[in-house]
Chain A
Amino acid sequence: MFEACADPKAIEGLTWGICYLTSAKHLQFYWSFVTVLLLLAITAPTALGMGFLGATAARSHIAPVSWLGKIYIWMVRGVPDIIFFLFFVIALDQIIEYSKSLFVCQDHAWPWQGLEFRVCPEAKVPLAKSSAFWHQAYGFMLAVVTFAIVFGAFVANVIYGAMQAVPRAQLETAEAYGMSRAQVFRRILVPQMWVYALPGLGNLWMILIKATPLLFLLGVKDIVYYARELGGSKTQAYEYPHGDWRLWYFLGLMVFYLLFTRVSEIGIARLTRRLSHGQATAAGEALRKAAA
């Protein structure tokens, strides 16, 4: 990156350190933090949307819809989420390729034959001839969808509980005023449920942050991947030879996560305070008394 770094073997001390930390591989490492933030930025709203749909479905008066919603909510309860992560990332890929094969392939043989998953080359996603970028992007997209499905179920659980927590009298009053079921839902239930949902959602946000290293298991080149790559001991064949530094790289990741969760915690506490203003809850009452 810098002129002085042209020959890493000739430099030492601080210059070596600066050159080392700005090597091409390290710049990729720093970018991978952006990958993590990108995952959070896409997953959080998607999971919120899925969760909202799931909770709404679970409350439905149409039995099959309600069952679907409830199964979605309950599926993540008794089973470790990492199983879902490992499962969905392959299952989604195979489902996508199988669906595509129904349209683009000549023969429609059942793809799970013997010990392989076989579809015709045209049905591969992305196609074998696609660039490395598309393979990476597709892998990342599968990871995002997987995260959204799993966390959507957690969110659905929280929102379902929050909807149940809205006082029944509020809804009955609205019905007495002649509002339709949809109106009650839109005007009364949804605006009031957020204050009940917020502690659970805040908790989920922290969990989501702490789940991001699992990207590594899904085959995405994330911060864990680079920490292992960069930290592993490098012989003289490398530009910057060094011993086993993985411990330090993982310490760095640890600090990153601790800071991230701490900042989030403070942010959530502020948000809770703001949302509690004027609410008929203990926190709202405390705020009112403090102001008076």
Chain B
Amino acid sequence: MSMTCWETIQAYGLRSIGIGENLLPRSEFTLCQQFTLIGSGLIWNLYFGVLALTFGFFLANAIALARAARNPLIRKPADWFVFVFRGSPLFIQFFLAYEALVLLPKGGIDILGVHLDTAWTTRAWAGALFVLFLNTAAYSAEIFHGALKSIPKGDLEAAEAYGLTGWKKFIRIEWPTMLRLGWPAYTNEAIFLFHATTLVYFSGFPAFAQKGDALYYANYFADKTFNPFIPYPIVAFYFILLTLVVTFVYGRVNARLNRHLPSNTRSKIRLRPNLIR
């Protein structure tokens, strides 16, 4: 009756996105099942992390620039945005967003004759992703803003001496330098954003048809077996791997951003805990 490990992988490898066996394991709970299902949940952590970071990167750049603007009408909203998202717990942000999205009219909204469906916004894939996107944008904007302010004065003067001004100076000197200076801190932000994705299914957003992330399944096994000593180390193992991959990818970008510098002055990536938001 019991499945081989390969059959288990076929049944549960993509369970988190609704492909394969419908019923979760109810007895036995073999190591193979736990590894497979928790690994399957990791798809969602990757989904949230990669998309939030990708979109968040652009918004973060825009906000960092807005914070450096002289016009208070541009600067102040950006300051407030960063303050609100960095000053409050992500956990509360998730709850707040969910409760706000639930209050949208169920049947959808009609704006200017266009019918907008609203039900999907309360789903984790959309609602939680949106919160994570704004959240990482705020944290990254703070990093990039700090980097923007610490661009060496000499670099800017040299750019002007070469006749670079305005947009050209920004895109060729200021922006790359900002990225280079901010990159080690931004790498940490990326790592901890991936960690933060584990909060999604514990913070109001329901997991429909038991489709959840890695921690959701680890929690499922711990609840069913009354043994936390197996599923949690498994999910921890997956996250250590994920952290290594993120560090490697961002390290490559860092190497590229620093490629013009002599090897002893390049900025190195150091892990610093930023942890829960």
Chain A contact residues, CB within 8 Å of chain B: 76-83, 86-87, 90-91, 94, 112, 115-117, 154, 157, 203-204, 207, 210-214, 216-217, 224, 227-228, 231, 244, 246-247, 250-251, 253-254, 257-258, 261-262
Contacts and interface: CB of A to CB of B under 8 A. Distances in A.
Contacts of A213: 89, 91-92
A117 to B, nearest CB: 4
A135 B178 CA distance: 53
B219 A86 contact: yes
Is chain A's binding surface mostly helix, strand, loop or mixed?
Answer: helix
Interface stretch (B112-120, B125-133, B141-149, B191-199): B191-199
Nearest to A88: B228
B236 A210 contact: no
B239 A254 contact: no
B99 A115 contact: no
B198 A116 contact: no
Contact of B229 (A76, A91, A154, A210): A91
10 contacts: A78-B236, A83-B232, A115-B224, A115-B226, A157-B273, A214-B91, A217-B202, A224-B92, A227-B95, A244-B102
A126 to B, nearest CB: 18
B84 interface: yes
A216 B203 CA distance: 10
Interface string B81-114: 0011001111111011001101100000000000
Contacts of B199: 82
A115 B220 CA distance: 13
Given A80-B195, A207-B277, 11 more contacts: A78-B239, A82-B199, A83-B236, A91-B232, A204-B273, A207-B276, A210-B90, A210-B277, A211-B276, A214-B91, A247-B96
A78 B89 contact: no
A262 B240 contact: no
B9 to A, nearest CB: 23
A210 B93 CA distance: 11
A32 B81 CA distance: 28
A157 B270 CA distance: 12
Nearest to A80: B195
A211 B229 CA distance: 23
B195 A254 contact: no
Contacts of A231: 99
Contacts of B93: 254
B69 interface: no
Interface of B: 27, 29, 83-84, 87-93, 95-96, 99-100, 102-103, 194-196, 198-199, 202, 215, 218-219, 222, 224-229, 232, 235-236, 239-240, 243-244, 271, 273-277
A246 B103 CA distance: 10
Contacts of B29: 115
B225 A115 contact: yes
A81 B195 CA distance: 8
Nearest to A211: B276
A81 B225 contact: no
A117 B219 contact: no
B96 A251 contact: yes
A213 B276 CA distance: 11
Contact of A116 (B96, B99, B226): B226
Contacts of B88: 210, 254, 257-258, 261
Closest 6 CB pairs of A and B: A80-B195, A78-B243, A78-B240, A87-B232, A210-B89, A117-B226
Contacts of B236: 78-79, 83
Contacts of B219: 86
A83 B215 contact: yes
A39 to B, nearest CB: 14
Nearest to B223: A90
Nearest to A91: B228
A10 B244 CA distance: 63
Contact of B100 (A80, A227, A247): A247
Given A157-B273, A211-B276, A254 B198 contact: no
Nearest to A243: B103
Contacts of B99: 231, 244, 246-247, 250
Given A112-B227, A253-B92, A254-B96, A79 B239 contact: yes
A143 B275 CA distance: 18
A150 B27 CA distance: 32
A90 B102 CA distance: 32
B96 A77 contact: no
